[in-house]
Amino acid sequence: MRSERLAVVRVYLGSDHAGFVLKSRLIEWLTQAGHEPIDCGPDAERDDDDYPPYVMRAANSAVGDPGSLGIVIGGSGNGEAIAANKIRGVRAAIAWSEETAQLARLHNNANVLSLGARMYPVADAVSFARVFIETPFSGESRHARRLAEITGYEATGELPALPAEA
């Protein structure tokens, strides 16, 4: 067991109807773990809820609050990741294992985790969120370089240069 206390992380969460129950469970877990969950909606489970308004608010809030993270939840997590990634500065990643959650942070400095509530048990989703929150970006030069290429494209709309042929 670790002796050091992890930093408190503010986590913005948004879902659709399919992700509502998992979102509620993640908010409980985050609170118990000493983090600060911010629920961006919906506030009730309604079959006709669309994910973009809630997911995009969670993603926008996470990118606008340095040091915070976001978690977006739907049935598969695919649409939620797509919507979140439309927000400038968001790097949303889908996780389906602890390893993919870890690599999203370690290599890609993802700031939003996308989960599929219908894809795995709740306990697994909570574990993926825990790993995501606890894993820092490695800062390795190759990963930083790749992120700079993506950020450059976001800023200018110019595709990254192709590597020189050997």
Q: Of residues 17, 35, 36, 80, which has the active-site annotation?
A: 80
Verify whether residue 80 is a known catalytic residue. Answer: yes
Q: How far apart are CA 52 and CA 33, in angstroms?
A: 28
User: 10: which 2 tokens?
Assistant: 């503010």
Q: Of residues 45, 107, 134, 143, which has the active-site annotation?
A: 107
With beta carbons less than 8 A apart as the criterion, state whether 95 and 132 touch: yes
Nearest 10 degrees: CA dihedral of 134, 61, 79, 140?
-40
Amino acid at 23: K
Residue 125, CA distances (Å) to 7, 19, 93, 94, 129 in order = 21, 11, 14, 11, 6
Q: For strand 69-74 and strand 112-116, is the pairing parallel, antiparallel, or unpaired?
A: parallel
Verify whether residue 107 is a known catalytic residue. Answer: yes
The catalytic residues are 80, 107
